[in-house]
Each structure stands twice: as structure tokens, then as C-alpha cells.
Structure 1
Amino acid sequence: MLIDLRIPVPRVKLIDLEDAVQITSHYHVHQLLGNAEFAAPEVIQGAPVSLGTDIWSIGVLTYVMLSGVSPFLDESKEETCINVCRVDFSFPHEYFCDVSHAARDFINVILQEDFRRRPTAATCLQHPWLQPHNGSYSKIPLDTSRLACFIERRRHQYDVHPVPNIKSFIMSRMNPGT
């Protein structure tokens, strides 16, 4: 993520220079690289990805930027993957007490397990939370101290290697009787 400060109104730019792939058909199979806490369930499960896969990442980034914590991070990479695949997240009061209901709804709308239920980028831009005239945003500045800690933790991670055998591990944990 970059912030362009050279213009009168700073603009956030989401970038991915290491792992970007142009999707030329409706779906593309993608190897899980990077940190699983930002990956959509279909990436972790080794299923085909689509443009909706990137929308998922926007939901995770929004959560992190508003709270300074990760929605899915757990003690191990495997547990984090399980949390992602189960879409197991919440809005703890200690992190979201000053975050509007519209912002939480925006995240809920995006973090859908089924990529076909995720909104398009154009639909996201029409969400009430992103409309400047609706007044649903908080006038209280966000506490960025947790976000600074989050960024510092990420700086020390080496997360560009494939996660070995994660698909079989996730499937065995999510379907223990099989």
C-alpha cells in the first residue's frame, strides 16, 4: 500500500508488485504466497480465484486499517488459515468502539466465504460508508498506535514462500470426520 502525498488530497494506492497476475479468463488458479491472513479462502484451499479474490483482500485491509489488528491472525499459520476458511472474525469492542456501523457493514459485505457473493469494486464504491454525503463516518480520529505495531510486526515477517501442504491440512481440520 502506498500513499500519494504529492497531490492536494492524498490518495491511497493498493499495490502488489511481487505476486500480481493478470486474469485473462474468469478464473485463475493461484499458489498461496505471502501471509495467509490476507488471502481469501479460495486461495488457501487451492481453488480458482477471480476478481472477487482481490475484493476479499480489500475487506481485510479495511479491517486492519480501522482497528490496527488482523481479523484472522492466530497462533500459527495453520490456525490462521482455518480462521480465514471459516470466515471466523468479529469486531471486538476494544478495537471497534469508535468505528461506525456502516464501516463494519462494509467489511461484512466484503468478507463473504463464497467469492460469488462478494461485491464488485464498483458496488463497493457505492456502499453508504464510502459516500461522503451520508454522514455515517466517525468524526473521531482513529487510534493509529495499534496500526503502527501491526506494520512493525509485518516488517519482521518473511512471508514470500508457498505454504506447503496447506490445502490438505485445512481440509482435514475443517472436515475432521472424513
Structure 2
Amino acid sequence: MYDTLKDTYQLFEEIGRGRFGTILRAYCPVSAESVAVKIIDKSVLTDETDRACLEKEPKIMTLLAPHPNILQIHNVFETEDSMAMVLELCEPETLYDRIAHRSLPETEAANIMKQLLGAIAHCHRMGVAHRDLKPENILFDSRNNLKLADFGSAEWSSEGESMEGVVGTPYYVAPEVLMGRMYNEKVDVWSAGVMLYIMLAGIPPFYGETATEIFESVLRGNLRFPPKIFRGVSPAAKDLLRKMICRDVSRRLSAEQALRHPWILNGGEANPMD
């Protein structure tokens, strides 16, 4: 594989590391384009679920392309022992880095959320649920356009169709996933809502010292807006949060509905709901 890969791309330094491999910066002389190459060592994939995810990820990313807010896949090289996915190159700073030590102004949070919801809505229209939305998976290109990445936990899901399996990350996972019930694509809306809460508050809505404590907090699902922290946050933003981080899945907004919420439409600026 490496010979074929190196015939097409010039490989440079490591720019990232995941559970199953490394990400290198690379350059394609033919297109005069810098790219990222994600190289996965299949020998470390002892779990059949992990192997299935690896096979599914490039297929899902190819299906979703092109979309301005979804990381683009350019090429795939594969042998029995390894796989290399050639991806759009993004800046090293993720959304996690941006919000690690500060909350964001509503206008900035609304701009990010509009792009993220657009990406999620596209996934759902194409019959895909991401299932692991978190700030670490939100990248930005050199023009500051949001790029949704890491579809390793994604699953095919026609609208309203049920899925199962506990996947996701403690702070962001929807309660119905933890309950072991069948669930649908709206788990992504819950996760996006949690990210919006953190963007505006600087803290997660459900907290614990351990994963178990976080899960228990998520299952209780008591969404609160501490006055000291939310004093400067608009009623419209809190209204959207309530409708995205909603335990009742039937009442939780879809990604399309969230995109039409006044707070998103007004770009986080003051509006009649305030």
C-alpha cells in the first residue's frame, strides 16, 4: 500500500493520532494540493465491531460528499494489513481547543451551530447518523469553515428508523442510548445541543467525576441554567437548548427544525423572543 500511496502523495510529518493509527500531512503533486492521510493499522483491530466501523467509514464519507461542512475524502488505499484514507486538510485547532478555556459570544456560537446543524441535517437526509458528535470531531479549514469529521461510529439510519448499540462520548451521549433502547438519528441533535450549551456556558450541562457519574447525570437529564453563568445568555438561546437537549425524543427538534429556530436564523443576535 505504501508504495502506491507514495507514488501519488508526498508524505510529511505526523499531525494527529487516533485510536487505531496516525494522521500525516501530505501533498499531491498532480493536484498541487495539501491533504491529510489517515493511516490505520488493521492488526490492532481485534474487535469485529471496530473492523466493521473501519470498512463503513470511507463508504459513508463518500456517500455524504460533497458538502461544505463535512470533511471531504479524496482517496482510499487498502491492503489486508492497513488502510489509508486521504482527507481534506484542516487547521490543527478543533472546536474543543476553541472552547477549552472560554465560552463564546452568541453570534460566534450561532455561526458554528448553523454550520454544524447543516452538516447533521445533510447526514440525516442521506440516511446517516453520526453518533459521536463532540468538539474534538469538529474541525475548521483555513477559511474558518466548519468540517464535521470522524465517521467511525456512524450508522445507516433512514429517517425515524431505529438503531441500537451504546456508542458516543460520556458528556455528549443521549439518554436513550444509555438506556439500551432502540433510538433514532435525533441522538445527534442532543449531542449538538450539549455542545451549544458548553459553547455558551463554558461548562457541560451534565457533569460527574467519572464516566459512571456523568452517565447518571445524563440519565437524570435535569437541564439547568445557573443564573450566574447564564445571566448574559438570551432567552432565545435557552429556548433552543431546551428543545435540543430534550429527553422526550418525540418533542426534541430534528436538525432541520433546529436550523429554522429564530436564534439560528438571526445569527445569535437579539430577536423578538428576547
Q: TM-score range by the shorter chain?
A: 0.5 to 0.7
Aligned AA for 1:97?
A: R
**Structure 2 match to 1:30:** 164
**Structure 1 match to 2:192:** 58
- How many equivalent residue pairs? 134
Bigger CA radius of gyration? 2
State yes or no: 1:44 paired with 2:178: yes
Contact 1:27 1:48 in 2 (8 A): no
Structure 2: 5+ residue stretches without partners: 1-137
Q: How does 1:144-163 map to 2 (within 5 A)?
A: none
Q: 2:226 and 2:150 mapped to 1: Cα distance? A: 29
Q: Larger deviation: 88-97 or 112-121?
A: 88-97
Contact 1:36 1:44 in 2 (8 A): no
Contact 2:237 2:268 in 1 (8 A): no
Q: 1:88 and 1:16 mapped to 2: Cα distance? A: 29
Q: Larger deviation: 60-69 or 85-94?
A: 85-94
* Cα shift at 1:122: 1.6
User: Per the alignment, do residues 105 and 77 of structure 1 end up closer, same or farther by CA in structure 2, a change over 3 Å counting?
Assistant: same
The one-character-per-residue Cα deviations of 1:99-120 (angstroms, maximum 9, x if unpaired) are 2111111101111112111111
**Structure 2 match to 1:113:** 247
Fraction of identical pairs, as percent? 33
CA RMSD of aligned residues (A): 2.2
User: Per the alignment, do residues 2 and 29 of structure 1 end up closer, same or farther by CA in structure 2, a change over 3 Å counting?
Assistant: same
Q: 1:61 and 1:122 mapped to 2: Cα distance? A: 17
* TM-score using structure 2 length: 0.45
Contact 1:128 1:136 in 2 (8 A): no
**Structure 1 match to 2:140:** 3
User: Per the alignment, do residues 83 and 4 of structure 1 end up closer, same or farther by CA in structure 2, a change over 3 Å counting?
Assistant: same
Structure 1: 5+ residue stretches without partners: 138-178
Aligned AA for 1:124?
A: A
User: Per the alignment, do residues 133 and 43 of structure 1 end up closer, same or farther by CA in structure 2, a change over 3 Å counting?
Assistant: closer
State yes or no: 1:79 paired with 2:79: no
SS of the aligned residue for 2:225 comes to coil
Q: 2:257 and 2:168 mapped to 1: Cα distance? A: 27
Q: 1:73 and 1:81 mapped to 2: Cα distance? A: 8
SS of the aligned residue for 1:115 comes to coil
Moved segments of 4+, more than 6 Å: none
* Cα shift at 1:28: 3.4
